[in-house]
Amino acid sequence: MRRRLGMVMVSILLTAVLGACGKSGGSDSGGSARASSTVSGKGASSGNTVELKLLSYFSEGETQYDILKKFVDDYHQQNPNVTIKLESAPPADLDQKILQSATAKQVADIIILNYISVDPLHGALVPLTDYVNGDFLSQFYDANVKAGTATDGKVYGVQIAGANDLALFYNKKLLSDAGINPPTTWAELASSAKVLSKDGRYGLAVSATNTVEALWQFEPFFWSNGADFSNVASPEGVEALDFLAQLVKDGAMSKEVVNWAQGQEVDQFVAGNAAMMVNGPWNFKALNDAGIEYGVVTIPVPKAGMKPVVAVGGEVFSLGNTGDEGRTKEAAKFLEYLADSDRYIDLVHGFGYLPSLKAKSDEFKGQFPEYTPFLDQMAYAKPMYDEKGYLKLDKIMQVAIQSALTGQATPKDALDKAAKEIANIQ
């Protein structure tokens, strides 16, 4: 399954981030299992020979690695004085490798990392605005820039290769047989899910496990209703959690959602045990291979006319704090090259993402119309976190979500408790 913030990948990374250097590293095994390959790259304007290192958790043979290699190869053909060496570290080891290499003053020039790691690792990075052209960041959707912004307000990365988000998948035959149109509001979603729940089938499936998937899937309901992390127990926040909890009470959503990872959601959908599910575009191939006749719409909103606010997933491209201004400037030129390439759509599709460049949206929709609902939400999307302490907040919210969906606490009590704990995050 392709790497994505949604979400097995992130569960591994969050464990890694929490497990090393207090709040900011991967496992303590470092990058011992890393692989490296020197490939040709195109790019610098200076005449001096330059060798840059690009570090990520993509390994040789993976689609993302292979597409990067092609772009690096093209870059070298246009700039033969620049060579880019691709290095990889296991997902659970990447953060720790970055920290260790930064301490040893051997950090990579270009780093592709999960954006949740940007804030705890920003000391190993440099602000992009110090090295890229002034209008470079304005090309991207706000969420793709905010994903790389640390709590000091500086931008240390941007989602150049795109991002992903969540939308509502539905079984066309089941909805058609029931005379139901794809829901666009919470009221329509609730009523449709109730009607579709029968004969061992549930109307809606979500993932509410005790992993980062729980908050990732709750955020579209939470944010679309006007709630935010400054007060998770606001009336808007409580209403959002109550909406999902009521679906479980009404039998329109299985109690087992607290145990279903996103992949298991797909299994339930393919088996016909769920008529609708909240999930991401990385599932297209699996659903197509299964022969399911499905459709996708944007996440239903609380009331007609409101906008769906979803969380983006994916990686940011950052510049390492190497201390070598010349190399950092050359590395920045490669990032600009990626965004300016006439094969940008190939980069995005190779990563399995949605374009982060606003100007490429229509072209992408034309080539891949199935992504349209996901892309239509990008203008209103946000990164999963928007304040310091998100990793701790995520754990607190997992407990609140699960407590409410299992009936162990009312949504209000669950979020009141969460709000008090969040207020104490240092």
Q: pLDDT, tens digit, for every residue of 233-271?
A: 999 999 999 999 999 999 999 999 999 999 999 999 999
- Flag whether pLDDT at 382 surpasses 70: yes
Task: Write out pLDDT tens, residues 186-221.
Answer: 999 999 999 999 999 999 999 999 999 999 999 999
260: domain CATH number?
3.40.190.10
Contact assessment for residue 312 and residue 147, using Cβ atoms and an 8 Å cutoff: yes
Same domain, 378 and 330: yes
- Shared domain for 172 and 249, answered yes or no, is yes
- Return the structure tokens found at 177: 């047989």
The predicted pLDDT at position 386 comes to: 61
46, pLDDT greater than 80 = no
Domain assignment present for 357: yes
What is the pLDDT averaged over residues 62-79? 96
- Is residue 157 in some structural domain? yes
Specify the pLDDT at position 25.
Answer: 32
In a domain? residue 54: yes
Confidence tier at 26 by pLDDT (50, 70, 90): very low
pLDDT band for position 110 (50/70/90)? very high
In the structure, what pLDDT confidence band is assigned to residue 6 with cuts at 50, 70 and 90? very low
- The total domain count for the chain is 2
- 401 and 271, same domain (yes or no): yes
| 244: its two tokens | 């999902």
From residue 412, alpha-carbon distances to 253, 367, 418 in Å are: 20, 45, 10
Mean pLDDT of 305-331: 97
Residues 337 and 290 in one domain: no
| C-beta separation of 203 from 197 below 8 A | yes
Contact yes or no for 394/383 (Cβ under 8 A): no
> Taking residues 89-99, what's their average pLDDT?
96
Asked if the model's pLDDT at residue 11 lies above 60, the reply is: no
User: What percent of the chain shows pLDDT beyond 90?
Assistant: 84
Q: 331-349 burial, b if ≥16 CB within 10 A, otherwise e?
A: bbbbbebbbeeeebbebbb
Question: Looking at 34-43, 178-187, 265-274, 366-375, which range is the least confident one?
Answer: 34-43
Answer yes or no: is 418 within a domain: yes
Q: Quick one: pLDDT band at residue 32, thresholds 50, 70, 90?
A: very low
pLDDT tens-place string over residues 291-310: 999 999 999 999 999 999 99
Q: Looking at the structure, tell me whether residues 345 and 364 fall in a common domain.
A: yes
- Find out whether the peptide bond into 9 is cis, omega within 30 degrees of 0: no
Is 225 part of any domain?
A: yes
Per-residue model confidence as pLDDT tens digits over 132-181: 998 999 999 999 999 999 989 999 999 999 999 999 999 999 999 999 99
Give residue 385's pLDDT band: very low, low, confident or very high (50, 70, 90).
Answer: confident
101, 202: one domain: no
Helix 344-351, helix 63-78: angle, nearest 10: 160
Same domain, 149 and 295: no
Q: Are 362 and 295 in contact (CB under 8 A)?
A: no
Cα atoms in the 13 Å half-sphere on the side-chain side of 79: 24
For residues 237 and 97, state if they share a domain.
no
pLDDT at 388: 59
Residue 324 lies in a domain: yes
Q: Where residue 390 falls among pLDDT bands split at 50, 70, 90?
A: confident
Examine the domain organization and report whether 129 and 173 are in the same domain.
Answer: no
> Domain of 178?
167-309+389-423
Residue pair 196/178 in contact by the 8 Å Cβ criterion:
yes
Per-residue confidence (pLDDT) for residue 425, from 0 to 100: 85
Clarify whether residues 267 and 404 are in a common domain.
yes
User: In the predicted model, what is the mean pLDDT of the chain?
Assistant: 89
- Do 318 and 297 belong together in one domain? no
1 domain-assigned:
no
Give which of 282, 333, 303, 313 is closest to 224, Cα–Cα: 303
Does the pLDDT of residue 82 top 80, yes or no? yes
Determine, yes or no, domain membership for 2. no
Comparing CA positions, the residue from 359, 63, 415 lying closest to residue 239 is 415
Virtual CA dihedral for 405, 408, 413, 417, nearest 10 degrees?
A: -100
**SS3 assignment for the chain:** CCCCCCCHHHHHHHHHHHHECCCCECCCCCCCCCEEEEEECCCCCCCCCEEEEEEECCCCCCHHHHHHHHHHHHHHHHCCCEEEEEEECCHHHHHHHHHHHHHCCCCCCEEEEEHHHHHHHHHHEECHHHCCCCCCHHHECHHHHHCCECCCCCECEECCCCEECCEEEEEHHHHHHCCCCCCCEHHHHHHHHHHHCECCEEEEECCCCCCHHHHHHHHHHHHHCCCCHHHCCCHHHHHHHHHHHHHHHCCCECHHHHCCCHHHHHHHHHCCCEEEEEECHHHHHHHHHHCCCEEEECCCECCCCCCCCCEEECEEEEEECCCCHHHHHHHHHHHHHHHHCCCHHHHHHHHCCECCEHHHHHHHHHHCHHHHHHHHCHHHCEECCCCCCHHHHHHHHHHHHHHHHCCCCCHHHHHHHHHHHHHCCC
Confidence at 8, pLDDT banded by 50, 70, 90: very low
Give the pLDDT confidence score for residue 426 in this predicted structure: 64
Same domain, 89 and 52: yes
